[in-house]
Amino acid sequence: MMGAARRQPTLAVVEDDRTFREDVLLPVLAHSGFHVVGMAGALELYRSMTLRAYDLVLLDVGLPDEDGFSIAAHLRRLSARVGIVMLTGYDSGSDRMRGLRAGADAYLPKPVDMEEVVTTLHNLARWVVPETNPVQTRSQWRLDERGWCILAPSGVEIEMNLAERQVMAMLAAAAGVPVQRETLIARLVKNAYDFDPHRLEMLVHRLRKKCQRLAEEELPLRAVRGIGYVLNW
């Protein structure tokens, strides 16, 4: 019988140096077995995360719209499972400790050997990408590649509106870990204080009902008392 395997890790590369990103990082990492998406800053990353979940983030510090330390801290608040590797010219001991305290799993100073980058990401992927059993015939709940539909174990596709996609992207990125209501609301609106929390509850309720009706199976999305919601898939 075949042993367990791991799917191809999804990797977001956040680097504003276009030449370094497009000509070095992306081709090398794609060739090394990662499903890689490149972006120039924090805004592109956050927008992309509303459509798909990433296992790993390779993150520059000196970005034009938000510094990498702040991004790392934000990502770590969203998920304990996402792997974060900081790649930066800030190589002092204090900068390294700042990155690690922000939530980074590894801190690599530039200029860097690409073999070291690839090895670091592969080692981290062993911890953040779950094993899959090739003999298992029944699929699990999951998002499609674009993050626009929920795929039920039966194969039924459940289409989502924009708000549902935004919420599910964050929950999927933190699968198995409760996500705070405030964090989910902040993804939906600019000013969380203008948002009635009951609207989030209704959104989740309707999404679960839609999955039950179309797929005839219960979406493994649960409320966590006093915290928020957790997606167990």
Q: What is the CATH number of the domain that holds 118?
A: 3.40.50.2300
CATH number of the domain residue 220 falls in: 1.10.10.10
Q: Give yes or no for a contact between 16 and 61, defined as CB atoms under 8 angstroms apart.
A: no
Full-model pTM: 0.57
d(CA 81, CA 127): 8
Note the pLDDT tens digit of each residue in 5-58.
567 899 999 999 999 999 999 999 999 999 999 999 999 999 888 888 899 999
Supply the range of the domain harboring residue 163. 142-231
In whole angstroms, what is the distance from residue 164 CA to residue 2 CA? 37
Q: Respond yes or no on whether the N-terminal peptide bond of residue 130 is cis (omega within 30° of 0).
A: no
Looking at the predicted structure, is the pLDDT value of residue 3 above 70? no
**DSSP structure class, residue 22:** I
Given a contact cutoff of 8 angstroms between Cβ atoms, the answer to whether 24 and 51 are in contact is no
Q: How many domains is the chain partitioned into structurally?
A: 2
The model's pLDDT over 76-124, given as tens digits with 9 standing for 90+, comes to 888 878 999 998 877 777 888 888 889 999 999 888 889 999 999 999 9
Instruction: Establish if 224 belongs to a structural domain.
Output: yes
